[in-house]
Structure formats: structure tokens, C-alpha cells
């Protein structure tokens, strides 16, 4: 009898595990409500440089939805996402409606507690490669499951697309020689300044 009781417990536990894993494993973007209004300072066609330029992002709940919409909202995760033009022939960036397998959004802009609305200034990470992007924000509930979203682009991800120029290819060696070169330029400038002033004074 005791053995049967424990196997029932085991089954109940397994059921609980399956239930808690199940929903988060099967979130589809197409079924998420779009409740956030997201903006980015980077405008359509703008070119930004990784490691140098900044993007200010804002997010807010669409006011025309009921206040109770946000009851389960715990966290906001804002990300940089590849525009379709930069996904072509690159299966490592492929969009999948099943969010667990989606590779559209690979760079975190910010992850923060859901405070209703928010604003963040993001310095484009040096790891971000050259490509076209938009910004998307996911809302997560207490179990870290996506329950809503918002994005700076339209449904087809064609509007408000901006470009980031990455720094890959600009290797450390090149950066060092660029540094040496500019140090040399400064030295040359001083040299010629001194020569010119001497000429004038003579």
C-alpha cells in the first residue's frame, strides 16, 4: 500500500513538472497580445555604430487596454532583432513562431522589473554584427514566460528598420595601428607647427 501511495505521488509530481514546463515551452509569437507600445530613437534608415552609438528605447502599456491587462506582468525584456533583410540565407537568425526556437532577437537591450512604462539608453554592444534591426519588448510573467509583446516595427517587420555597423573585422591589430597612426599624426602636426613658427620668427 505504501508503495502504491508513493507511485501516485510520483505521478502527481511528474504531472506538475509537465504542467509547469509545458506552457512556457510552447509560446507562439502569433498568439501573444501586442499590448506594449515600443519606441526607439533610431529612425528608419539610420546608421549606428556598435560600441559607439546609443539608442533610447521606451515602452508603455497601450492605454486603450484595460488596466487589469498588466496584472500578471513581472518583467520587461527589450531586445534588438534582425529585420527580414538580414535573415535571408542565414538560418542561425531564422524566425520561428515558437519563441523557444526563435532566433530573430539575439541581443538584450535591457531586462527589468515591469514598472508600467520605462525608458532606457542603450549603448549598442560591441558584439552586435552589421545588419538591419528593429526593437522588440517581451513582457514576462512570474514564471519567466512571455505573455505579451510590443515592437517598433509593423507586423511584417518592414517599417522603422535601422542599420548597425558592427566592429567585427576591425581587429585588435587594426585598432592598435590606428592608435599608433593617430599618435604619429599628432606628433607630425606638432613638428610642422614648430617648424612653421620658427620660420615666421626668423
Ligand X SMILES: *[C@@H]1O[C@H](CO)[C@@H](O)[C@H](O)[C@H]1NC(C)=O
Of 57-65, 70-78, 159-167, 177-185, which segment contacts ligand X by CB under 6 A?
57-65
Backbone region of residue 169 per phi and psi (left: phi > 0; alpha: psi in -120 to 50; beta: other values): left
Pick 154 or 175: Cβ nearer ligand X: 154
Q: Residue 60 in contact with residue 37, Cβ under 8 Å?
A: yes
Q: Does 37 bind ligand X (CB under 6 A)?
A: yes
Pick 32 or 37: Cβ nearer ligand X: 37
Q: Does 10 bind ligand X (CB under 6 A)?
A: no
Q: Does 62 bind ligand X (CB under 6 A)?
A: yes
State which of positions 100-129 bind ligand X (CB under 6 A). Answer: none
How many residues touch ligand X (CB under 6 A)? 4
Residue nearest to ligand X (CB): 62
Dihedral pair phi/psi, residue 58, rounded to 5°: -130, 155
Contacts of 105 by beta carbon, 8 Å cutoff, 6+ apart: 79, 80, 81, 82, 136
How far is 148 from 34, CA to CA, in rounded Å?
A: 6
Of 16-24, 62-70, 100-108, 112-120, which segment contacts ligand X by CB under 6 A?
62-70
Nearest 5 degrees, angle CA 114-CA 44-CA 35?
Answer: 30
Q: Does 64 bind ligand X (CB under 6 A)?
A: yes
Site for ligand X, rule CB under 6 A = 37, 62, 64-65
Amino acid at each position: 500500500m505504501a508503495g502504491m501511495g508513493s507511485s501516485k505521488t510520483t505521478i502527481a509530481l511528474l504531472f506538475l513538472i509537465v504542467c509547469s514546463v509545458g506552457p512556457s515551452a510552447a509560446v507562439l509569437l502569433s498568439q501573444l497580445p501586442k499590448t506594449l507600445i515600443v519606441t526607439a530613437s533610431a529612425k528608419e534608415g539610420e546608421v549606428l555604430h556598435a560600441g559607439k552609438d546609443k539608442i533610447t528605447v521606451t515602452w508603455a502599456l497601450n492605454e486603450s487596454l484595460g488596466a487589469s491587462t498588466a496584472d500578471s506582468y513581472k518583467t520587461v525584456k527589450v531586445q534588438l532583432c534582425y529585420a527580414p533583410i538580414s535573415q535571408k540565407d542565414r538560418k542561425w537568425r531564422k524566425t520561428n513562431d515558437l519563441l523557444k526556437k526563435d532566433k530573430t532577437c539575439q541581443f538584450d537591450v535591457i531586462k527589468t522589473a515591469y514598472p508600467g512604462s520605462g525608458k532606457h539608453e542603450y549603448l549598442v554592444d560591441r558584439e552586435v554584427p552589421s545588419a538591419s534591426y528593429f526593437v522588440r519588448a517581451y513582457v514576462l510573467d512570474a514564471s519567466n514566460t512571455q505573455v505579451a509583446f510590443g515592437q517598433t516595427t509593423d507586423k511584417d517587420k518592414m517599417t522603422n528598420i535601422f542599420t548597425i555597423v558592427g566592429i567585427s573585422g576591425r581587429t585588435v591589430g587594426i585598432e592598435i595601428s590606428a592608435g599608433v597612426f593617430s599618435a604619429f599624426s599628432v606628433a607630425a602636426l606638432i613638428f610642422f607647427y614648430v617648424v612653421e613658427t620658427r620660420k615666421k620668427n626668423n
